[in-house]
Each structure stands twice: as structure tokens, then as C-alpha cells.
Amino acid sequence: MEQSARNGLIAVIPVALLLLSGFALPLIFIIFTGLMPPRSFGLLEDPTLANYRTILEEGYWRPIMWSLGFAIATTLVSLALAWPIAKALVIHAGRFASVISILIAVPVFIAESVRLFGAHLFLMPKGGILAGTVNALLGIDIGSILFSPLATLVGMIYIYLPFAIFPMTLGLSQVPPEQVEAAKDLGASGWQTVRNVELPIALPGILIGGLLVFVLALGATAEAAILGGQSVVVAVQSIEQRFNYAQDWPLGSALATVLCAITALVVFPLMRRLDIDRLFRR
């Protein structure tokens, strides 16, 4: 209806303006800055691809690779850990699910740095919570995984696991229990039922959860800083260093642009397939 189209176009203006000025605009700036000569300031110089060459030739691609690797690992592990939990929440929907959901959600609203700080304290060798308790109880000195890539990975999984759990739960809740029963009745084994009935229906939720974890982990820096120490430099840390210490905004922007490109590569194909109305209307 005409009226509807007009109303829609008017209604979208505030949010559209916000996103254009607060999201699109900064991105454009960053992309442009990435094309400026190294160590320059402002946007009035001649564009050049020098920064991208630097990334390839001088090893600045390493932090990006680390972040990519962490992101993939975090995503896969989180999804695997989340699956039984999501199933439990859907099957035992009700009091159990409500309580567990709240328990999982509350830490999300506690600042990331605070939680990672706690993890740091937990994992500290000698005087840390874990090491100290074990030492006091069993007299053993267990060392620590702190200040290693593993610690960083563990930190990421810890922080982003809830972001895998909730969308996956949503996806699984779309599976009608009768279909699972019908499959079993027709002779499918547990694994076959999962593969042929549950996964296809729950897939949008799973993909959204996986995508969310991936993107968030890609841009994560606190875990590497608080738990990984000097052992690994992730992409955003490298970018920050370019901005703060090296005063090389163009190189930092180029690195950031690469990160954006990776994100876009992963996000856009999924977006294309998503039918928002069908997802929400159930």
C-alpha cells in the first residue's frame, strides 16, 4: 500500500542517518587513510598502496593470521561446547532453561576486562587462585598456561561462548519435536536424525552464532593482553600500536581495512541467504 511505503521510508530516516554517519562514514575514512602514504597525517596526500605492500613484506600480516586462527578456533570450539547446552535448554525448556539462561547471560553484562582479570588471577602461577589452592591442598606446583597463545584462546572461548549458545538455542528451538520423533520412528539413528532433521532447521541459528563469535573474536584484544602477555600479538593490538606508539595512522588503517575485508567476506554471503522476515515470524 502506498501509505505503508511512505511510512516506512519516513520511519527509517533516524536509524539510517545514525548508521551512515556513525558506521559508514568512519569506515570510509579508515579505508581512505589506509591509502595515504606511510606516517602521514590527514587525507590530502596522493593515494598509494605502499601500506599494503608493507603489510605483506614486513610481517605485519602475522598478527592478522594469529587473529584469524584464533577466531576460527574459538568459533569451532565454542559451537562444539554450546551444542549440548543448547539442546539441554531446548529440551528442558521451562524453569531449568530460564534459570540457566539467566546464569549464562549475567556474566555477559560484566565488563570483559573484569572477567578476564578474574581469569588471569585464577590462572596465575604460584599465588594465583588455582595454583595456590592446588598447592595448599596437594602440595603440587602446577605452573600455568598464562602468557601463552593457549591462554589467549581459552580466554576468547570463555568470553564468547554465550554468544554461541543463545543463537544456537534459538535455532534449535525451531525444530518441531514431532519431526525428530518421526525420523526415529522411520528408523533413523541418533546421528542421522541430527544430520538430516535438526541441523538443517537449526542451521540459521547456528550460523548466526558462529558468525557472531567469529567476528567478535577477530576483533578481540583484551584476551591477548590480559592472558597472553607478550606471547602473541593479535591484529587489533598491532593496529593499536601503529596508532599510538608508531604514530603511523595510514599503516594502522590499512591493517584495519584488511580486518574489515575479512569480516565482510565472511558476513556478506550469510547475509544474502538470510530471510529476516521468515526468521522472526516463526
Partner 1 sequence: MEPRSVIVGRIVWTVLIVGLLYLPIISIVLASLANTRFIRFPHRVWSIDAYREALGLGLTYDLQWTSLKVAICVAFLAVIFAIPGALAFARYSWPGRSVFQKSLLLPIFFPQSVLGLAALVTMSAVGISPSWQTAVFMHLVWVVPIATLIVSIRLYGFDVAQEEAAFDLGATRLQSFLAVTLPQMMPGIVSGALFAFLLSWANLPLSAYTSGADSTLPEWLYSRMSTNYAPMVPAVSVLSIIASVLVVMIFQLIRLWWRRHIEAGSD
Start-to-end CA distance of the chain, whole Å, equals 24
Task: Give me the residue label for grid cell 585464577.
Answer: 122
Q: Which one, of 255, 222, 264, lies nearest residue 63 by Cα?
A: 255
125 binds partner 1 (CB under 8 A): no
- Under the binding rule (CB under 8 A), the answer on residue 265 touching partner 1 is no
Residue choice 93, 121, 182, 203 for contact with partner 1 (CB under 8 A): 121
Q: How many residues does the chain have?
A: 282
* Residue 115 within binding range of partner 1, rule CB under 8 A: yes
Q: Which stretch binds partner 1 (CB under 8 A): 28-36, 48-56, 143-151, 198-206?
A: 28-36
Please give the biggest Cα pair distance in the chain: 77
- Which member of 110, 182, 195, 203 binds partner 1 (CB under 8 A)? 110
Query: Binders of partner 1 among 205-264, rule CB under 8 A?
Result: 211-212, 215-216, 218-222, 225-226, 236, 239-240, 243, 249, 252-253, 256, 259-260, 263
Torsion of CA 248, 254, 259, 264, to 10 degrees: 150
CB-based contact 258:265 (threshold 8 Å)? no
Q: Which part of the chain contacts partner 1 (CB under 8 A), choosing from 1-9, 47-55, 141-149, 199-207?
A: 1-9
Closer CB to partner 1, 140 or 281, in the complex: 281
Size of the site for partner 1 (CB under 8 A): 97
User: How far apart, in whole angstroms, are the C-alpha atoms of residue 163 and residue 74?
Assistant: 11
Q: What residues from 59 to 98 belong to the interface with partner 1 (CB under 8 A)?
A: 81, 84-85, 87-89, 91-92, 96
Binding flag, residue 7, partner 1 (CB under 8 A): yes
Distances (CA, A) of 20 to 8, 9, 162, 192, 208: 18, 15, 30, 46, 24
Residue selected from 109, 139, 191, 245 as contacting partner 1 according to rule CB under 8 A:
109
Residue 33 lies near partner 1 (rule: CB under 8 A): yes
* Residue among 260, 58, 263 nearest 50 (CA): 58
Q: Using the rule CB under 8 A, which residue among 40, 62, 69, 132 binds partner 1?
A: 132
- Does position 106 bind partner 1 by CB under 8 A? yes
**Nearest distance in Å: CB 58, partner 1:** 20
Instruction: Pick one of 19, 72, 182, 203: the residue that binds partner 1 (CB under 8 A).
Output: 19
* Gyration radius of the chain's alpha carbons: 23
Interacting span for partner 1 (CB under 8 A) from 54-62, 141-149, 171-179, 272-280: 272-280
Stretch that binds partner 1, among 46-54, 132-140, 143-151, 194-202 (CB under 8 A): 132-140
6 binds partner 1 (CB under 8 A): yes
φ/ψ of residue 149, rounded to 5:
-60, -35
CA–CA gap between residue 168 and residue 198 (Å, rounded): 11
CA distance 78 to 90: 18
